[in-house]
Each structure stands twice: as C-alpha cells, then as structure tokens.
Amino acid sequence: MGATISLRAVVIHNRPHRDQDAIVTMLSHKHGLLKVMVPGAKKHSSRLAPLATPPLLGDFVLSESKGFYYLKEGDAVESFKGLYSSFEALTAASHILEVVQDTVVDTESAQVIYPLLLYVLYDLSTHAEKYRQIVAAFEWRLMDALGFGFDLHDCDCGKPNEMPTYAFSFTKCRLFCSNVACVAKAQDYRFVSSGCVEALRYIRDAKLERLSAFHAADYVLDDLSAVTHRYLCERLEKNYDKMSIIDSLPPV
C-alpha cells in the first residue's frame, strides 16, 4: 500500500464488487469524486460495512495502491437517518445523488457542489415533507452554479404584463410576458405563475442555509418542479426519472 490520505466526504454511490466487497463513490470538497474499494462491505460483521451505504457523511482514512483507493478506517459523521422515514425524501435523495455524480467533473465543480449537496441532504433529512421544493431548489441552484444561468428579469418589451403569468422559455433561457407578441418570441415555453418566478429568484439569491425557506402554494410548486426539472434534464442531456416514481403513486 502507498500513502494514506484523511478526508471528510459524502458517500454518494455504492456498487457490489466480487462476493464481499463494494466500490463506493465519495465526494469531498478538496478531492472531488473518488472511487474507493471497501473490503468486506457486504459482511454484516465488517466494521467498514456501515460506511459504504449512501448517503453518508464521514471522516475517512484511505490508502492508495496502483492508482486506486482502499478504505482503511472511518467514522460516520452524519447518516441522514431522517430520510429513511419517508419514501418521498429517500427517492428525492437518490435523484440528487445521481445528478451530483454526473455533474462533478473536477475539483472546481466539487467545491461548489459539495456544500450544496450537504445542505439539501440535511434539509431533506429534517424536513421530508418539503421534498418537492428542496429538489426544485437544488436543481435550480445547481444549474446556476454550473453556468446554465437563466435570465429572470422581466420581459424587455416595456409593456405591462396583461396576466399574472410568464412564459418560461426553454429556448431563449429567459422570461417573456404573456402579451401575444412576446409569447411568440419565446418559442418553446411553459406558462408559469408569478409566484413560481418569485420562487426562482429567491432560490438563485438565497444563502444555502435558507435555500428552501420559502412558502409556496401547491400550484406554484407544480410550476416550479416542472420547469426546474425539465431545464436540468435538457441542459444535462439526460432524462432523470427517479422523481416520476413518486408521481406514479396513488394519492394517500
């Protein structure tokens, strides 16, 4: 074995390796994404097994050999137990972890996404009932952080908006008012409420610890979830469909 490194990281993915081991993906603020072998992860008696289940924030000691990392020891800092009391929150967390795994491409992106991920996992764990707005806030803030910013200024036509709605243009990445001539310019768009626009503006500017601290009616959340999710899928060129599992459930 080569040198060892100590780091705090979030376990975001786990896949089996051979009969008893696992390879986990960790995200750290300094090192970005790391693939780490966890020996004996599938053995109930293994002291390392509890450290291989995502999502988990921990302090880890890794050893390096031939360009690959092995978990030597570690301590759980936060296991986000609150997620397991809510199917919706657990599904939302799974969606968020998948997106993070796809979007951290270097240490620079890791330094932006790591604190965002920690916040939304803590928030989901403690406020599971807010899973829709937490996911929407994560998706919108992530897009902004990755350089897929959207112009949230009012329509530049200079005319008063005739209705309390806006055309959210996926083509132009900006808002248009609901006047007929302006809507025609929007091309591929969805009408959204003014409440949705205010929520998008809030998410863009809020401090991380206040990211989902807004109140929204159900129809506003419907608009918000629809536009943030579609915007994310189109920009990342991937159909993230985990949240559709929740939508397919019968009403309680």
**Count of H-run helices and E-run strands, the chain:** 7, 8
Q: Of the candidates 248, 242, 220, which has an alpha carbon nearest to the alpha carbon of residue 99?
A: 242
Give tens-digit pLDDT for 66-80: 778 999 999 999 999
Summarised one tens digit per residue, pLDDT across range 8-40 is 999 999 998 878 889 999 999 999 999 999 987
How crowded is the C-beta side of 252, counted as CA atoms within 13 Å?
4
The domains of the chain are located at: 4-78, 81-149+187-247
Q: How confident is the model at residue 158 (pLDDT cuts 50, 70, 90)?
A: confident
What DSSP letter does each residue of 34-89 carry, written as one string?
EEEEETTTT-TT-SSGGGGSSSEEEEEEEEEETTEEEEEEEEEEE--GGGGG-HHH
Burial class (CB in 10 A: 0-12, 13-18, 19+), 6: exposed
The architecture in CATH of the region 4-78 reads: Beta Barrel (2.40)
Whether the pTM exceeds 0.75: the reply is yes
Across the range 177-193, mean pLDDT stands at: 94
Distance from C-alpha of 41 to C-alpha of 22, rounded to nearest angstrom: 6
Q: Is 66 left (phi over 0), alpha (psi -120 to 50) or beta?
A: left
Q: How far is CA 33 from CA 10, 63, 98, 118, 175, in A?
A: 10, 16, 13, 15, 35
